[in-house]
Structure 1
Amino acid sequence: MQQSRISLAIVIMSLACKPIAKSQTVRQTGNAIPPTVSAQRRTPIVVVAHNVLPSVVNIQTEATIRRRQIDPFFDPFGFFGGGNRTYTSLGSGFVWSTDGIIVTNNHVVEGASRVSVIFSDGTKVSAKLIGVDPDSDLAVLRVDSKSLVPAPLGTSADLMIGETVVAVGNPFGLSGSVTTGVVSALGRSVPSKEEGRTFTDFIQTDASINPGNSGGPLLNIEGKVVGINTAILGNAQGIGFAIPVDRARKIIQDLLRYGQVRSAWIGAVTATITPEEAKRLGIRATRGAIISRVFDGSPAAAAGLHGGDVITAVGGKVVDSREAFATFTTTVPSGQPVELTVVREGSPRTVTVRPADPPKDLGLKILWEIAGLRVTDSRGVVVEQVARGSRSANIGLEPGDAIVGVNGNQIQSVSDLNNALIGSTDRSSIVLDVERGRFIYSLTFPMAV
């Protein structure tokens, strides 16, 4: 009896020590098109759908919402509040590379405490969030599954209006749904109330892109990904949008390498020029991005750009707003020369600018130029100097005041402040949360001169 117990203990210990598989095997191969299907039915759209469906995934997220505390007087039993609630939602994505990289939309995973990826064979795998770019509504996930079959990547540079496209995803949780349409327009700027921002340079299509379809691929008739679907307009009928794959490629590479998007620095602050604004300023260009500030020592200064210049095109692509200009500069690698079409004093001209990596202390230089502040680390970010005649001096800021936030994001160190300001170089203004005593004041500092 004693020997049997010992043998049983050894068996249990051996099972407990058995190594757990590091990655799950995913079977992505789809069923072959039956040979009985005629050539007439085997259309290009059928072939595209058949080939890409195994690479399209379902994104399942969980978010825990903390509910208000129970009121012992009005709600003693907690019928109306208290505790936490977990909400689940569904979206789409697709395999970007063989080593487990999955691409989806930022709004699909935003606020999630847990993210899972469900493959076409039903395999469910936990996913790790690598990085997000809210400005382009992109998110990158990694799953511990190897030798995955990625969706073939194409280019969005030569897309044509009227060209047939195929959208694949999981609308309303219906896995593997395929819709078709055409490219309706290119370079669309789309304001989104739900996301609280304006998205730029999007592909517009009449292929149905519904809730749950977000994050899936938009493909051309050759079966290559030309965009990433995003359902950012909740009430849109017959209008869908997608992020161009060429733009997404640079952003995804940055997220994988750095965990964030690293935009090349030009050093020009711009604002959208409208026909009304152009008339008021006496400018002939009626659309574009007007330069309101050029930072000393920047690539823009080296290229000879001046305040008042209106940028109307980047690399031959029309610029109709500050957001469009920021979008184009986001995708340009550092050091690569870019041709800008600029209107100066009513005459168009071409200016070549070579974007660069931003200086490490650029944020602190911006703080001095636009706000007249120098800071130090002292139990937080504390104002050390206020320049005479600066906006900060006029507001009444003093040494000893503490900066606790930038553009609504909390900061705890000078390094945090510097990085937050570097990431805000394309904004028209900066909002600093300044603490004095028991009060915090939100102060706006325009980037323009």
Structure 2
Amino acid sequence: MKATKATLLGLLIMVMACGPVALGARADDGLQTLRETSKAFSAVAKKAIPAVVSVYVERTVEVNSPYGFGSPFEDEFFRRFFGDRGRPTPERRVQRGQGSGFIISSDGYILSNNHVVGQSDKILVTLNDGREFEAKLIGADPKSDVALIKIEGENLPTIPLGDSDKLEIGEWVIAVGNPFRLAQTVTVGVVSAKGRAVGILGEEGGYEDFIQTDAAINPGNSGGPLLNLNGEAVGMNTAIYSQSGGYMGIGFAIPINMAKFVKDQLLSGGKIVRGYLGVGTSRFGLTQELAREFGLESNRGALIATVQPDSPAEKAGLQPDDIVLEVDGKEVRDWDAFRTMIGMMAPGATTELLIWRDGKRRTITVTIGSREEIAHAEGAVNRLGIHVQDLDAQLAREFGYRPGQGVIITEVAPESAAYKAGIRPGMLILSVNRQRVQSVEEFNQVVDKARDRVLLRIQTEYYIQYILLPLE
């Protein structure tokens, strides 16, 4: 018994003696891991900072009145008695802005945001070493918010471009930029989500596939790189979600693969040519309720509601009610993701679509078209900045109209007069210049005869309105 007690006492002493040592060892290991992580962040920042630039822009704008809204000279009473003599002439003023960018070639090509440099009259770039350059705008793409500028230099520091498709949720990322004119600011976070479409590039026409991160992004960060731990740019910081105007833990970056797609086209031809299928979806896309109605358990996918005549989609055999589940083996999250996938394909390329039709999975091979081809085929329609389609029975049921009632609008160019006037896909054109139109052919005939503007009678879900549009 005494031996047993002695043995137990010895073991207890050993456990008590070894316990703190083991805990201390684990703590030291944890601290060492943190130190190594910190060194990794520092190494990435040290290498990237010289290639991150401050971008200062100037643009000239016309201001109609020094009084702003509510000028007394704009009042009908003043005009009636004094005519236009008292109205001030438009003034030209210089607006200044600031953002970020990063050098991607040793001879001075720089990626930034379209909303930073796209409408500028003058672009000044400041490097980390204090050197200043006047930059030239090579090209900009409002639909993706990507721009490419150029400074004249040699042997400039650069940031390599990574592969944003390989980025994982939860992965460490580092944002570098110049928020609030605080140059070369580095913040660290993780990838919070991928494939975000948040509507900041316009309800129609924009291509959004944002990386969401909690790395602090603030005004002035726009155009700076989002880096992985290899020091590669995997995104371009673009926007934040904020109710205060500052950081709230939600930032958005353009995937670098999308930026590369735009950059390559700007370098090769100066314009962006995107892939095109000629399909449209319903107002709310593939809801969970609709997915169950079609026999699917998940609402992940893109529901096709319309197929334009003579389009690549129609030629490939796609039909209304088809649901696209995969593109070349990659899962389709929703309509925005599907549209972006197709848009980033080269016209003439072939792709395989896995679709859901009549309760079965099918594979369809499609040859991608281009929007330029569609524009050429529908020249009269594009004079208004819109695309229209015959109102068949399927579309009439989908949108609550009567077949043959008019032509339905399927697309509106985001910078067009039609878009600015409030015209959106899903609206129905009943007449053009007081002539009733019941087909695309009739619509084109009337628009072709028009000179400088057209009067559209349009029906929406709630009302009928008249809109006068200039012809482009």
TM-score (normalised: structure 1): 0.70
Partners in 2 of 1:160 and 1:41 — Cα distance? Answer: 18
Structure 2 residue corresponding to 1:260, chosen from 271, 275, 278? 271
Cα separation, 1, equivalents of 2:89 and 2:417: 29
- Partner Cα distance (2:271, 2:118) in 1: 15
Match of 2:344 in 1: 331
Tell me the equivalent position of 1:391. Answer: 406
Q: Is the 2:240–2:250 contact (alpha carbons within 8 Å) kept by the matching residues of 1?
A: no
Is 1:321 matched up with 2:339?
Answer: no
Superposition deviation, residue 268 in structure 1: 2.8
Shift of 1:91: 0.3
Alignment partner, residue 21 of structure 1? none
The answer to which of 224-233 and 308-317 deviates more is 308-317
Distance 1:143 1:410, change over 3 A: farther
Inter-partner Cα distance in structure 1 for 2:270 and 2:213:
30
Within 5 Å, give how 1:95-174 maps onto structure 2: 95-174=103-182
Higher strand share: 1
Q: Deviations over 1:52-105 (max 9, x none)?
A: 111111111112221225799979xx9x99632212111000012223211111
* Rg larger in structure: 2
Instruction: Please say if residues 269 and 428 of structure 1, whose CA atoms lie closer than 8 Å, have aligned partners that are also in contact.
Output: no
Task: Decide which of 250, 257, 274 is 1:246's aligned counterpart.
Answer: 257
Which residue number in structure 2 is paired with residue 307 of structure 1? 320
Query: Which region of structure 1 is more displaced relative to structure 2, 358-367 or 202-211?
Result: 358-367
* Residue in 2 that maps onto 1:441: 455
The SS at the match of 1:175 is: coil
CA distance in 1, matches of 2:93, 2:285: 46
Shift of residue 390 of structure 1?
A: 8.5
1:91 to 79, 91, 99: 99
CA–CA distance in 1 between the matches of 2:218 and 2:156?
27
Q: Which amino acid aligns with 1:98?
A: S
Alpha-carbon spacing, 1:189–1:439, altered in 2? closer, same or farther (3 Å): closer
Does 114-123 or 310-319 show the bigger shift? 310-319
Amino acid at match of 2:406: R
**In the TM superposition, what is the alpha-carbon distance from 1:296 to its structure 2 partner?**
4.5
**Is 1:274–2:292 an aligned residue pair?**
no
Q: Give the match for residue 409 of structure 1.
A: 416
Per the alignment, residue 67 of structure 1 pairs with 63
Instruction: Show the counterpart of 1:381.
Output: none
2: CA distance, partners of 1:371 / 1:342? 23
Alpha-carbon deviation of 1:234?
4.2
Q: 1: CA distance between counterparts of 2:338 and 2:278?
A: 13
Unaligned runs of 5+ in 1: 1-38, 373-388, 396-404, 412-419, 421-425
Match of 1:52 among 48, 55, 71: 48
Counterpart of 1:370 in structure 2 is: 388
Q: 1:258 to 1:441 in 2, by over 3 A?
A: farther
- The question of whether the paired residues in 2 share the 8 Å contact of 1:370 and 1:445 is answered with no
> Does the residue aligned with 1:190 lie in a helix, a strand or coil?
coil
Amino acid in structure 2 at the alignment position of 1:211: P
Q: Structure 1 residues 94, 349: closer, same or farther in 2, change over 3 A?
A: same
Alignment of 1:342-357 (within 5 A): 342-357=355-370
Contact 2:173 2:229 in 1 (8 A): yes
> Does the CA-based 8 Å contact 1:270-1:428 persist in structure 2?
no
- Correspondence for 2:463: none
Higher helix proportion, which one? 2
Root-mean-square deviation (Å): 4.1
Partner residue in 2 for 1:181? 189
Structure 2 CA distance for aligned equivalents of residues 267 and 173 of structure 1: 44
Q: Residue type matched to 1:121 in 2?
A: D
- SS of 1:349's equivalent? strand
**Aligned-residue offset at 1:343:** 1.3
> CA 1:445–1:331 in 2, change beyond 3 Å: closer, same or farther?
farther
Contact 2:163 2:256 in 1 (8 A): yes
Offset, 1:130: 1.8
CA–CA separation in structure 2 for the residues paired with 1:280 and 1:366: 40
Residue pair 1:371, 1:445 contacting (<8 A) in 2 also: no
Change (3 A) 1:444 1:148: farther
C-alpha distance in structure 1 between counterparts of 2:372 and 2:220, whole Å: 41
User: In the superposition, relative to structure 1, how do residues 70 and 164 fare at CA in structure 2: closer, same or farther (>3 Å)?
Assistant: closer
- The range that moved more, 42-51 or 307-316, is 307-316
Give 1:330 deviation, angstroms: 1.7
| Residues 16-31 of structure 1 mapped to structure 2, 5 A cutoff | none
Residue 163 of structure 2 aligns to a residue whose secondary structure is coil
How many correspondences in the alignment?
A: 368
SS in 2 for 1:115: strand
Counterpart contact for 1:54–1:119, Cα < 8 Å = yes
1:111-152 deviations in whole A, cap 9, x for unaligned? 322211111122221222222222221111122223323211
Instruction: Name the SS for the 2:276 alignment partner.
Output: coil
Query: Percent identity among equivalent residues?
Result: 37
Deviations 1:207-253 (A, max 9, x none): 01111001111111111111111125343610111111112211111
CA distance 1:318–1:445, shift in 2 (3 Å): farther
* Paired residues for 1:22-41 under 5 Å: none
- The answer as to whether partners of 2:294 and 2:359 remain within 8 angstroms in 1 is no
Shift of 1:326: 1.4
Distance 1:363 1:338 in 2: 23
Q: Give the TM-score of the pair, scaled to structure 2.
A: 0.67
Q: 1:201 aligns with which of 190, 209, 213?
A: 209
Post-superposition shift, 1:205?
Answer: 0.8
SS at match of 1:43: helix
Secondary structure, in 3 states, of the residue corresponding to 1:85?
strand
Task: Classify 1:273/1:126 alpha carbon distance in 2 versus 1 (closer, same or farther; 3 Å).
Answer: same
State the alpha-carbon separation in 1 of the partners of residues 118 and 372 from structure 2: 30
Tell me how far apart the structure 2 counterparts of residues 430 and 101 of structure 1 sit (CA, whole Å). Answer: 45
* Partners of 1:273 and 1:286 within 8 A in 2: no
Give the structure 2 partner of residue 11 of structure 1.
Answer: none
Residue 228 of structure 1: aligned partner: 236
- Cα distance between partner residues in 2 of 1:139 and 1:255: 9
2:25 equivalent in structure 1: none
Does the 8 Å CA contact 1:58/1:92 hold for their aligned counterparts? yes
Q: Which amino acid aligns with 2:50?
A: P
